[in-house]
Every structure is written in C-alpha cells, then in structure tokens.
Chains A and B, each alone.
Chain A
Amino acid sequence: MKKYEQKSAPICEALERFRRRRVVPFDVPGHKRGRGNPELVDLLGKQCVGLDVNSMKPLDNLGHPVSVIKEAEELTADAFGAAHAFLMVNGTTSSVQTMILSVCKAGDKILIPRNVHKSVINAMVLCGAVPVYVEVKVNPEIGIALGVEVEEVRKAMDANPDAKAILINNPTYYGICSNLKEIVKIAHEHGMKVLADEAHGTHLYFNDNLPISGMAAGADMAAVSMHKSGGSLTQSSILLCGENMDAEYVRQIINLTQTTSASYLLLSSLDLSRRNLALRGEESFEKVARMAEYARSEINEIGGFYAYGKELIDGDSVYDFDVTKLSIYTQGIGLTGIEVYDLLRDEYDIQIEFGDIGNILAYISIGDRIQDIERLVGALEDIKRLYEKDSSDLYCGEFIQPENVMTPQQAFYADKVQLPLHETDGKICAELVMCYPPGIPILTPGERITKEIIEYIDFAKEKGCSLQGTKDPDVELISVIKEK
C-alpha cells in the first residue's frame, strides 16, 4: 500500500474546491444546497445538505469515472490490495449482485453454501443462474452454520465441472471463516472464479492478526461492506476485483442497475473511510479486537451465556474465527436470541445487530468505547438475574438445508398460488422467507417446504423474529408453485 498517496481523499477535496467556487446551481438536486427545503437543513445541517450535489465535470461521474472518482477508486484498490475497486452506492447488495451477474449467465451453475445472504439468491432470480449447494456443517451446540470444508468444495467441483464460480462468506455473520486460500487454489484449478461475500469483513484487510481477506487469498471478486466495519455511511459499499477480472465488463454490469444520480454524501464517506482505514486501520482494529475479547471473557464469566471465539477453530469447517465479532449463544439461560435482543432494546436501551433463535450478535466497531461494553455486559448479567428460565422447550438448530427443486428464477416467475403456511408441506416455495436480520433465507424460491421448516417458521414467529420476504406482509400465506 502506498502510504503517502493514501493521505489524500480526491472526492472530498474536489467537493471542497467546488464549495469554494460558489457555483450557482441551475441543475439538480432541486433543493439547491438546501435553500428549497429549510426543514431538511434543520435536520441534517447546512454542510451536509450542501454536499448533496449532482455529477458534473469537476466532481466526475460514478457511471463513467475519469477524474476524481477514478483516483478514489484507484486508491481504494491500492488500500485493499485489489487490481480494481468500484465505489458502490446501492449497498453491498449491489456489490453481491454485480459479482454474480459478472460471472454467471442464465443457466450457468454457481456453487454456494446455503447460509448466504438473501442478495445472493435475489441475484440468481435476476440472472437465472443455477445454485449448487456445497454442504455446510452445523455446530450442534450453538446451532449455527459453519464454513465450507475444503473436501466438500472439491467434491462439489468434481461433480459440477461446468460450474462458473463459487461464492464464500468471508466471514459469516457470526465470524466463521473457511479455508479461503485453499478453496481459491482448487477453484482456479477447476477454472472457476471465487467470489467472496465480505459484507462482514472490511476490517480483515487492515489487520494482520485477523483472518485472511478475500483479495489476499486470491479471490477474483469481493463485496465489501464499508458501511459496516469500515465506518462509511449506510448504503455505501465497495466491490473489489482481482487481476483476472475484466474491470470494464464489470463496470457495464454495475451500470445495468446503478443509479445515474450517485449521492456524493455516500461517495465522500467512502473516500474518507478508505483514507482512515489505510492510515489508522491497523491500530483501530487492534482496539476493536481487544474490546471484543474483553467482552467475551466478561460475558463468559456471567455463566449461562456463551460468547464463542477462537476455541471453535477446527482447521476445516471453522478454519478461522474473526475475533472482532461478538456472537453470543443465549439458550443457556433459557431465552432465544431474539428474546434477549428485544429485552436489551426495550429494557436497557441497547440496540444490538441481531438476535435469532439461539444467538445474538453485538457489533463492535471503531466507534465503540469500553464503557459501552461494560453496559452490554452489565445488561446481560441483569437479564440473567431477572429473566433466566428453564431451557428445555427451546428449538435448537439455526439452520436447515432444504432440497432444491427448481432454479430461483424458474420458481420466482412460475405460476403460483398463496397457501396458508400450514398447508404448504411438500410444496415448492416460490419466494424468499427469512428472519431479518440476519437475512439468511429459511426458504428460497425453488426449494421444497417440509414439516420441519414449517415448525421452524412457527417457532421463529412465536419468539418475535421479524419474518420477511413473502408477498403476504404478515407471512401467514406462502407463495408456492401451482401444481398442474
């Protein structure tokens, strides 16, 4: 990384130059630096609204960067060790979507673990790719899906030599990493591309004590949620490419769905966050890891809760663990993760990232302070004191791998009917069903519904998970393929 060049922030500097020129705006946006919408200025502040400007020559254009955005993208690529980087303004969803659309056409196979984010499945609905699932093991004690094992990858590739690519979570939401370097090696031997979903892995690029990053492992593309651990504004993201990708083709794919009015608030936040990470990321994430480790040891001392860490590493299905993730198994005190998640917010004014059936995840980042960690630990201890109960009636197991009958696109566009959940046993699902967060689908279009899955959905609903994805907003009815 070129440390000296990393000190500049070309988009932000261009915005500042532009502000000083006091250009009269006869272009969009129509609020004209906020003058047309004083309430918005009150809410967001003059400086913020003033930065909400249009693409133009001095500020470049995200759809076809030639000057400051191009420089910012080059600096980003340098900081992340990539051959090319794209600044993204429609979330990491758009980065994931671009990865899949860049390597798959309709009918092409792609290898994925089942515990992917919904954006992966939705990209396949768009392009008609065919998912081939690589089996993932579940940790029976805490009920979470683990990484993919190298042997499973090899088996899947041998069985599907025509597959175009494999997608790997690096890490999973819970912090689990697969042996990405070895998977890259096998995939490239089979002529397949490797896509890394690094929605939870920005920090891996900036600290040597953390698991290996996608680009360092040789992945061909990586979708990086800068707005999560990287500190940029919500909805901003980065897409990275290795040297074997055709960057201009990837740009065309991005432009299929990307807005032509990219927000400079998002772009400038990416620019500044990249600079910040390049200059200070190493020490920042050292601190984050220390805070998370401290929290883990304090939480495990309470008893009942299990904040898991590197002890899960087994060299294969848990090849590595991202210690900045504070994932906590809660069923030891007789409460589901979602119940603890709700208690923390409603009773203790603490908002955590998510709670699911068995776990909660507290997101620790460069913005955290040790006194907030003390609050979280104190609250968990108080919850145990006041709400602990018998855990025998809890549903264990976070993850079911259903049978895949049709491609997501075929199922999504097929003739379908909406049936009450309890009448769908044996039917083929035509839509996504998931708890959000974490947004890992329980059912995807094209999968066969089973009794076990129906029970799981019932349990998740009863415990207060927010279910989403179905056409029916109350998730009482499920769209299934019409039987002839």
Chain B
Amino acid sequence: MDFWFSQMETEHVKTSIRVNKQLYSGQSEYQRIDVFETQELGKMIVLDGEIIFSEADEFIYNEMVVHVPMAVHPCVKQVLIIGGGDGGVARVLTQYPEIEHIDVVEQDEKFVEISKEFFPETAKGFDDERVTVTNMDGLRFLRRCRDKYDLIINDTTDPFGYAEGLFTREFYGSCFRALKEDGIMVYQHGSPFYDEDEEAFRAMHRKAYKSFPINRVYQANIPTCPSGYWMFGFASKKYHPLKDLDTKRWKARDLQTWYYTTNLHKGAFMLPRYVEDLLVEEEKAAKKESKENIE
C-alpha cells in the first residue's frame, strides 16, 4: 500500500513520510489530532497537519529544552511547562531530584488523553508525583503568577495555531513576572530557513529581547521539523547560557542522554552567519527604538 503523510513546510515544499496505518484521528475543541504509525519514524502525532513529534526524534527536542537550562541554573526547584501535553519534557525533568514541583499547563485536555493512550512511554512524565497538569490557557494561568518559578519552558509549537498567544510580547512579559529574580525561560524559536518563517523568527527575538536582559538563541537538528533545523530561545534574568554553564556539576549527575552533552551545549549556541545576522539586526533595531523612546 502506498500511503503517505505530507507536511507542508511552505506552500511549495513538503516532507512526506510513509504511513503504515493511521491509529487515531479526531477533533478536539482546539485542533485536529492525528496519530500515525510510520515505517521510519515510529509512531507520530500530528496537530492540524503539523508533526508535533515522532518516537524517532522526540528525544532531541526534549533533551534540548531541559538540559540546557538545567546545566546553567544552579538550583531549579519550581518549573512551569506551558503546553507539554505529551509529557515528554516533564519526563526528562523528573530525572533531576532537586526539582520540587512541575506545573504542566496544557489547554487541550484531549491532546493529553491521546498522548497517554498512544505514547505511554513519553507520557510517563505525568506519573511522577511532582507533576501537576492544569488544562488552562497559558496566558490566563500566568496572569496569576508572581516570582514563582525558577524555570519556564514554552513547549507549544505552532506560533500561528490556537497557541499563538504564547509567542507574543504579553506572553514574554507575563513569563518575566512569573519567574524568580534569577529565573530562566526556554522557548520555541522556530526555524528561520524559509522566507515564510523568517518574520516570525525575527519577531520572536525582538519580543524576548525587549522583555529579558539576557537573550541567546540555540539550535538543534530535528528531522521532523520544517527544514530539519530548529531553534530555541534562552531568555534569562541573571544567568548566561555559556558563561554560567557548570560542566562539572552537570557531568557529575551522570544522566543518560542521547543527544545532549555539555560540549554540544556550547556548540548549540554557535550559529550560522545568516541566523546571527537576523538576530543582530533585530537587536540593533530594538536598541535604536528604545533610545528613541528615551529621547
């Protein structure tokens, strides 16, 4: 049987993955959810036509949003995950014994349910007693938080879907307020490769840059992401992702990883020229603007 799933990366580029069978298709209050079993990538979950993760490459994403801030911040006790309905990020976080509590705020209850049913390995994160799941809009949840978290991970993927509110300046502002004085926020930065996505990439940096004193962007190769190349934002009130990286301490933990190493940590912040140029341009524009405002 010749059965393929295609993800449109732009109007003119698509990635196709051969499907063995479709395991689930349904519509939640917010989005269409599909689960496929594929030959090459294992099981795969798709929201509104966009691949959220596959069994084959989810480790890359989950490790990169967790270990990078965890190797920098000296003592993370309170964590907030916005999105994260599949439980993958929470699962990696539970490897750290010093974490006391993890809030997962996922609006779509159905997505959590489907993840638990089809990806029990990933959703294991939810079984840890430190994890609490709340089904609520992320912005709404954040409005009631002050100086509460050491780490916030924005684990929502699509800046144009129902979660677009989580890629906005008000979101970054709310996160800033919800973080303690030395808190870190890690967020999805998308991929700058295609023209269509470049403006969203720029806007994200612009907004975070205005909201946090320290802003760096880092990268990873994730095959099922558009152009196979994905970026993350590291926004922080105090700690620098490279200067404050404590290699010795992290290595002493002896955690098992498949993607992350402290060497890769350093390399991930070394960006291609075209990406660096985009970021510098946005920083210059933001600086100029704030200077004008002061005048």
Whether A349 is near chain B, meaning CB under 8 Å from some CB there, is yes
Identify which of B162, B163, B170, B203 contacts A378 (C-beta below 8 A). Answer: B170
User: Which residues on B sit within 8 Å (CB–CB) of A378?
Assistant: 139, 142-143, 165, 168, 170-171, 173-174
Please, which residues of chain A bring their CB within 8 A of the CB of B174? 378, 381-382
Measured CA separation A375–B207 after assembly (Å): 14
Residue of A nearest to B138 (CB): A374
Min CB distance A3 to B, Å, is: 28
Q: Which of A86-94, A201-209, A365-373 contacts B (4 or more CB under 8 A)?
A: A365-373
B171 near A385: Cβ-Cβ < 8 Å: no
Distance, CA A192 to CA B16, complexed state (A):
71
Residues of chain B lying within 8 A (CB to CB) of residue A381: 143, 170, 173-174
* Contact yes or no, B165 A374, CB < 8 A: yes
> Nearest A residue to B30 by beta-carbon distance?
A371
Would you call B162 and A369 a contact (CB within 8 A)?
yes
- Give A370 to B169 CA distance when docked, in angstroms: 18
B165 touches A371 (CB 8 A): yes
Name B155-170 residues within 8 Å CB distance of A. 162-165, 168-170
User: Of residues 186 to 237 in B, which have CB atoms within 8 Å of A's CB atoms?
Assistant: 203, 210
Does A347 reach chain B (CB closer than 8 Å)? yes
Query: Given the complex, which residues of A lie within 8 Å of B171, measured CB to CB?
Result: 378
Q: B139 near A385 (CB under 8 angstroms)? A: no
Closest to A379 in B: B170
Instruction: Report if A386 contacts B (CB, 8 A).
Output: yes
Asked if A377 is an interface residue, CB under 8 A from chain B, the answer is yes
Please report the C-alpha to C-alpha distance between residue A385 and residue B203 in the assembled complex, in whole angstroms: 21
Q: Is A395 an interface residue (CB 8 A)?
A: no
A374 touches B139 (CB 8 A): yes
Q: A377 to B138: give the CA distance in the assembly, Å.
A: 12
Q: Among B137, B143, B164, B169, point to the contact of A348 (Cβ < 8 A).
A: B169
Name B's interface SS.
Answer: helix
Return the contact of B173 from the options A370, A371, A386 (Cβ within 8 A): A386
- Is the C-beta of B243 less than 8 angstroms from some C-beta in chain A? no
Q: Does B273 contact A (CB under 8 A)?
A: no
Within 8 A of A (CB), among B221-259: none
Chain A residues with Cβ below 8 Å from B107 are 371
Note all chain B residues with C-beta closer than 8 A to A347.
169, 210
User: A257 CA to B203 CA in the complex, in Å?
Assistant: 46
Is B163 in contact with A348, judged by CB distance below 8 angstroms? no
State the Cβ distance, A424 to closest chain B Cβ, in Å.
32
Quick check: B177 and A379 within 8 Å, CB to CB? no
**A374-B177 contact in complex given A348-B170, A349-B168, A381-B170, C-beta closer than 8 Å:** no
Closest to A302 in B: B143
**Would you call B140 an interface residue if the criterion is a C-beta within 8 Å of the partner chain's C-beta atoms?**
yes
* Contact call A379/B162, Cβ cutoff below 8 A: no
A298 contacts across to B, CB distance below 8 A: 140, 143
A180 to chain B, nearest CB (A): 37
Q: How far is the CA of A378 from the CA of B166 in the complex (A)?
A: 10
B137 and A374 within 8 A (CB): yes
Residues of A within 8 A of B137 (CB): 370-371, 374
Once bound together, how far apart are the Cα atoms of A347 and B173, in whole Å?
11
Q: Using Cβ atoms and an 8 Å threshold, which residues of chain A touch B168?
A: 348-349, 375, 378-379
CB distance from A177 to the nearest CB of B (A): 31
User: Per-position contact with A for B102-141: 1 when CB-CB < 8 Å, else 0?
Assistant: 0000010000000000000000000000000000010110
- The 8 A CB mask of A373-408 against B (1 = contact, 0 = none) is 011011101100110000000000000000000000
What residues of B have a CB within 8 angstroms of the CB of A369 in the complex? 162
Q: A349-B168, A378-B142 are in contact. Are A385 and B173 (CB under 8 A)?
A: yes
| Interfacial chain A residues near B143, Cβ < 8 Å | 298, 377-378, 381
The residue among A348, A378, A379 with the most chain B CB atoms within 10 A of its own CB is A378
Which residues of the other chain, B, contact A385 by a CB distance below 8 angstroms?
A: 173, 177
Identify the closest chain A residue to B203 (Cβ).
Answer: A349
Chain B proximity of A340: nearest CB distance (Å)? 13
**A298 to B174 alpha-carbon distance, docked (Å):** 15
Task: Report the nearest A residue to B169, measured CB to CB.
Answer: A348
Instruction: Give every chain A residue within 8 A of B173 (Cβ-Cβ).
Output: 378, 381-382, 385-386
Given contacts A371-B137, A374-B137, A374-B139, contact A382 B162 (CB under 8 A): no
The CA-CA distance from A49 to B216 in the complex, in Å, is: 46
| Chain B residues within 8 Å of A382, by CB | 169-170, 173-174
Cα–Cα distance between A371 and B143 once the two chains are bound (Å): 14
**In the complex, how many angstroms separate the beta carbon of A309 from the nearest chain B beta carbon?**
20
Minimum CB–CB distance from A295 to chain B (whole Å) comes to 11
Residues from chain B with Cβ under 8 Å of A374 in the complex: 137, 139-140, 165
Which of B163, B164, B169 is the most central at the interface, judged by chain A CB atoms within 10 Å of its CB?
A: B169
Contact between A371 and B162 (Cβ–Cβ < 8 Å)?
yes
The answer to whether B139 touches A377 (Cβ under 8 A) is yes
- Chain A proximity of B241: nearest CB distance (Å): 25
A377-B143, A378-B174, A381-B143 known; A372+B165 contact, CB < 8 A: yes
Say yes or no: A371 contacts B164, CB within 8 Å: yes
Q: B139 — which chain A residues lie within 8 A by C-beta?
A: 371, 374-375, 377-378
A375 is contacted by which of B165, B177, B203 (Cβ under 8 Å)?
Answer: B165
Q: Which residue of B lies closest to A376 (CB)?
A: B170
* CB of A347 to closest CB in B, whole Å: 6
CA distance A349 to B204 in the complex (A): 12
Q: How far does the alpha carbon of A377 sit from the alpha carbon of B210 in the complex, in Å?
A: 19
Q: How far is the CB of B170 from chain A (nearest CB, A)?
A: 4
Give Cα A386–Cα B169 distance, bound, in whole angstroms: 12
Residues of B close to A349: CB separation below 8 A: 168-169, 203
A375 adjacent to B163 (CB under 8 Å): no
- Min Cβ gap A205→B in Å is 29
- Cβ contacts under 8 Å, B170 to chain A: 348, 375, 378-379, 381-382
**Whole-angstrom distance between the Cβ of A342 and the nearest chain B Cβ:** 12
Distance between Cα atoms of A17 and B210 in the complex (Å) = 55
Interface residues of A in 311-356 (CB under 8 A from B): 347-349
The 7 closest A-B pairs by CB, nearest first: A382-B173, A378-B170, A379-B170, A374-B139, A378-B139, A375-B165, A382-B170
20 A–B pairs (Cβ distance < 8 Å), ordered by A: A347-B169, A370-B137, A371-B162, A374-B140, A375-B139, A377-B140, A377-B143, A378-B139, A378-B142, A378-B168, A378-B171, A378-B174, A379-B169, A379-B170, A381-B143, A381-B170, A381-B174, A382-B170, A382-B174, A386-B173
| Chain B interface residues toward A at CB < 8 A | 107, 137, 139-140, 142-143, 162-165, 168-171, 173-174, 177, 203, 210
Known: A374-B140, A381-B174, A385-B177. 6 other contacts (CB 8 A): A298-B140, A348-B168, A371-B139, A374-B137, A381-B143, A382-B174
